[in-house]
Amino acid sequence: MSREDTDTLKGIGVCPGVAIGAACVIGTHYQGFLRFHLPAGKLDEEVRRLSGAVETAKQELELIRREAASRLGEEHLYILHASMLLLSDKSLIGEAEKRIREFRNNAEWAVMAATEHFSHVFDGMDDPYFQSKKVDIAQAGERILRHLTRTDVLREDFGEPGIIVARDLTPGDVVALSRHGVLGFVTDMGNRASHTAIMMEALGIPAVVGAGEASRRIATGETIICDARNGEVVIRPSAPAQKTYEKNRKVWQSLRRQDESFDRGIAKTRDGICISISANVESDEEVRLLPSFGIEGVGLFRSESLYFNRSDFPSEEEHYRQYRCLAEAVSPHAATIRTLDLGLGQNATLFHGVRNDEPNPALGLRGLRLSLRFPDLFKRQLRAIIRASAHGNVRVLYPMISGVDELLEAKRLFLEAQEELRSEGHIFVDNLEQGVMIETPAAAICSDILAREADFFSIGSNDLTQYTLAVDRGNEQVDHLYRSLHPAMLRMLRDLTKTAQEAEIPVCVCGEMAGIPVNVLVLAGLGIRSFSMTMFRAREVKKAIRSVHFADMESMAQSLLACRSSREIEERLAKFWFDLEKEESRVESAV
């Protein structure tokens, strides 16, 4: 193929819009450092060099944080605050210092090794949220390395505004680069839930992440189109293509201006049907931000963070303090706490006496299966959740269930925990609701049986898609087959919703599907009225819900059920979405 030929890369669009301009490819990945064995007399000096680089990185990030505060407001500072915390993390920095003192490593090597050590904690975790934590750690390491090597490419003068292409970027990089009038971002790595993607969206700059080999296939100066709406990067577009995309770019700019007048009220369709929007969160910092996004409840609280980076199990009091804070913060709205959803390999040191070399961890001892293997530890968490119910509207959610026996065993231990607490004089809510994550085909198919024992369903769409389609979503060789709107998925979700309605129990979607506006419209059309998502997606989802009539969602969902393939579904849905945006634009223009 000649350099004049058009080429297209597929990625993930994270901030709807279109950017057209010259590419600026920058290198931000630091690797290939040599390992030096330092003499004993040089160790203190090397540790001071490491400390100096960390302090300089903190100062740089603090300047970026102040700038972001003036441009974006307080609600997005949490992301940069998380980056600051990692630079102060005693485990990460302490591990690097230990490698200098004990193994006599040079600082660059020590930082790389420490980063890899802690990133390993998140290896094998399917949840995109925790995948993003691994990325955060890697990015903290790279920021320190920049200052150790004094090679900060972000300080370069980029000349005319263009589209930044990089292997990866940190949230701080995105803020710093945006000073140069950047038109768009394209990265090889990343996903929709990453902090970098969230910052790109907050700044309103079109971006495509996870575009594979973009930084290697695009040359600086080449004209590219960053189509964040469709998650595509067009390299060396033809003149007619540029003209078409330019027209789309103007439409999106108009829609973006309309977004600025968005209010944070409830999500209600044009004909008055209310859709519940809650959040997936992990930390107190995230919970405090919920009112800023017009979100009142927590549909999924990930309790795993208490287990990370430690060699002992969290105590009942540690659990209790965290859950009580959560319950009080969102009361009177629901705080749904998912019990431990780790696999053995994600913190093997905690689970002594159990093999952690499972050939297929995704189908192994994880979620509720792991909790039931260690009933005393499981009851410790259940006791804390039950005690927290005295301080708010707490619900408990059991992950990775494949049959009713697992649910019945969990409920038996739950009842035991209640009886113990009652005998000890604790006050709690007797009828605390117990729900089931529907994330295996077995749970979906047997949902009528589970519905007799569960108080609510929460659909984990990521795992449910993966297991139903038998597609490893982390395997790029079969990535094209991972389609959450596959005909099999739509039929399964339709039947599951019908089962929940007949049993008169609520059903919520808390996976990635719940954060994609057009998918929410499909699921609402199938009868689902509750969605839990990363809070930063709520704005787009609410806007989409407010733009439609409920009858149109039902009609569209029914038409999709008649489709024979994912491609047919996606094409029909794209047309529905395009017509919806066109109508929105027409109405706004008339006003």
Nearest to 199, CA basis, from 226, 173, 164: 173
Active site residue 510: yes
Q: In what order do the strands lie in the sheet with 207-209?
A: 7-10, 232-235, 223-227, 18-26, 163-166, 184-187, 207-209, 12-15
Q: Which of 15, 24, 226, 510 is catalytic?
A: 510
Q: How far apart are CA 144 and CA 53, in angstroms?
A: 6
Say how many C-beta atoms besides its own lie within 10 A of residue 502's C-beta.
Answer: 10
Q: Please list, in sequence order, all residues whose beta carbon lies within 8 angstroms of the beta carbon of residue 142, skipping any fewer than 6 positions away.
A: 28, 29, 30, 168, 170
Helix (H, G, I), strand (E, B) or coil at 447: helix
Q: Which of 195, 319, 391, 486 is catalytic?
A: 195
Q: Which residues pair with 334 in a beta bridge?
A: 393
Say how many C-beta atoms besides its own lie within 10 A of residue 472's C-beta.
Answer: 16
CB 327 within 8 A of CB 394: yes
Q: How far apart are CA 306 and CA 303, in angstroms?
A: 6
**Which residue type sits at 1?**
M
* Secondary element (H or E) of residue 304: none
Active site residue 15: no
Say how many C-beta atoms besides its own lie within 10 A of residue 434's C-beta.
Answer: 19
**Which residue type sits at 71?**
R
Q: What is the DSSP string of 30-98?
A: ---PPP-B--GGGHHHHHHHHHHHHHHHHHHHHHHHHHHHHHH-GGGHHHHHHHHHHHT-HHHHHHHHH
Q: How far apart are CA 494 and CA 523, in angstroms?
A: 8
CA-based diameter of the chain, in Å? 78
Distance of CA 500 to the CA centre of its chain: 27
Catalytic (active-site) positions: 195, 510
